[in-house]
Amino acid sequence: MTVLEARGVDFSYGRRRILEGVSLEVGAGESVGIVGESGAGKSTLLNLLLGLERPSAGEVRFDGSPLAVRDRALMRGFRGSVQAVFQDPYSSLDPRQRIGAIVSEPLESLGLARGADARSRVGEALAAVGLDGDAAERYPHEFSGGQRQRIAIARAVVVRPRVLVADEPVSALDVSTRTQVIELVNELRRTTGLALLMVSHDLSAVAAACERTAVLERGRIVEQGPTAAVLAEPRDPYTRRLISAIPRLPA
């Protein structure tokens, strides 16, 4: 069953067209990657799918219905079902707040839990990402980059969403920490049935996390299919160029 979908989406900024005729589906429990170079329109597409922007043409659909950005009640339910993790684990967490307050924020803003119930769910979310319960009393500066990204993931999954949207979630991390974060996301998907939509310029990260991949070039999807097939037998010249640019260790 399709949960989140773009249908023939266009988006323009002034006279500049950013996206053109983009169609993409994310099924329940599915993991989908979007790859492309900087400026391809990846983050703009995510903003549309998150309801942060409105398409110039086409539509974004959630559970088969058009996303009505102006309908506050509908968007409240959507926010509880679709959560996001962003690129920089250093700037995405408020340094003045304790971790418990940061992770509980979406619970309170969406009216899902308060007080002892919220604290219990924060503890569960922190445990799910491999952090001890005492992390709730500490501040972001006390954690490494990888741990901060785990906290950002805990903040997203504490509301028990159906879809996790990740915008370059490992690009600011070192190689070993990237692997740990991807393994964490894969484990969360296995245990919760969470669907994943991940944007990245890092094809190796997408290969490790996503069952299906769409390739975006200058605002248009030029190729999409099972990740293994797209990477092993790319049909489009642009995809082949992306793959050829992946650094390889000497034999």
What pLDDT is attached to residue 249? 40
Mean pLDDT, the chain, rounded, equals: 91
Q: How would residue 232 be classed by pLDDT, with cut points 50, 70 and 90?
A: very high
Percent of residues in the chain assigned helix, strand, coil, to nearest 5: 40, 25, 35
Query: Parallel, antiparallel, or unpaired: how do β-strands 220-226 and 212-217 relate?
Result: antiparallel
Encoded tokens for 197: 């939509």
**Hey, what long-range contacts does 227-234 have (CB within 8 A, 24 or more apart)?**
227/33, 231/203, 231/207
Boundaries of domain holding 41: 2-244
Three-state DSSP class for residue 144: coil
Q: Mean pLDDT over residues 196-207, rounded?
A: 91
Work out the angle between the directed axes of helices 99-109 and 145-157 (0-180°, nearest 10): 20
* Any domain includes 8: yes
> What total number of domains does the chain contain?
1
- C-alpha neighbours within 13 Å on the C-beta side of residue 23: 6
Q: Residue 246: how many CB atoms within 10 A of its CB?
A: 11
Query: pTM for this structure?
Result: 0.92
The alpha carbon of residue 218 and the mean position of all alpha carbons in its chain are separated, in whole angstroms, by 20
Identify the pLDDT of residue 135. 94
Q: What is the CATH number of the domain that holds 231?
A: 3.40.50.300
Does residue 205 carry a pLDDT above 80? yes
Burial of 69 (C-beta count, 10 Å sphere; 0-12/13-18/19+): middle
Please check whether residue 151 is in contact with residue 130, taking contact to mean a CB–CB distance below 8 angstroms. no
59 bridge partner residues: 7
Residue 251 included in any domain: no
* Pick from 5-9, 128-132, 173-177, 183-187: least confident: 173-177
Choose among 158, 167, 153: nearest CA to 49. 167
56-94 confidence digits (pLDDT tens)? 999 999 999 898 876 777 888 899 999 999 887 778 889
pLDDT at 248: 55
pLDDT digits (tens, 9 = 90+) for 97-108: 999 999 999 999
DSSP per-residue string spanning 33-71: EEE--TTSSHHHHHHHHTTSS--SEEEEEETTEE--TT-
Q: What is the mean pLDDT of residues 197-214?
A: 92
Decide if pLDDT at 122 tops 60.
yes
In this structure, what are the phi and psi dihedrals at residue 83, rounded to the nearest 5 degrees? -120, 160
Mean pLDDT computed over 194-198:
96
Work out the pLDDT band at 247, boundaries 50, 70, 90.
low
Average pLDDT over residues 118-135: 92
Residue 95, pLDDT score: 92
Task: Write out the two tokens for 139.
Answer: 């501040």
| Type of residue at 74 | L
16: in domain: yes
Q: Does residue 249 belong to any structural domain of this protein?
A: no
215 phi and psi angles, rounded to 5 deg: -105, 120
**CA-CA distances (angstroms) from residue 197 to 27, 29, 85?**
10, 10, 10
Strands 31-35 and 212-217: parallel
In-domain check, residue 250: no
pLDDT tens profile 6-55: 999 999 988 899 999 999 999 999 999 999 998 899 999 999 999 999 99
In a domain, 114, yes or no: yes
How far is it between the farthest Cα atoms of the chain?
57
Element (H, E) at 219: none
Does a structural domain hold residue 186? yes
Residue 35 belongs to a domain: yes
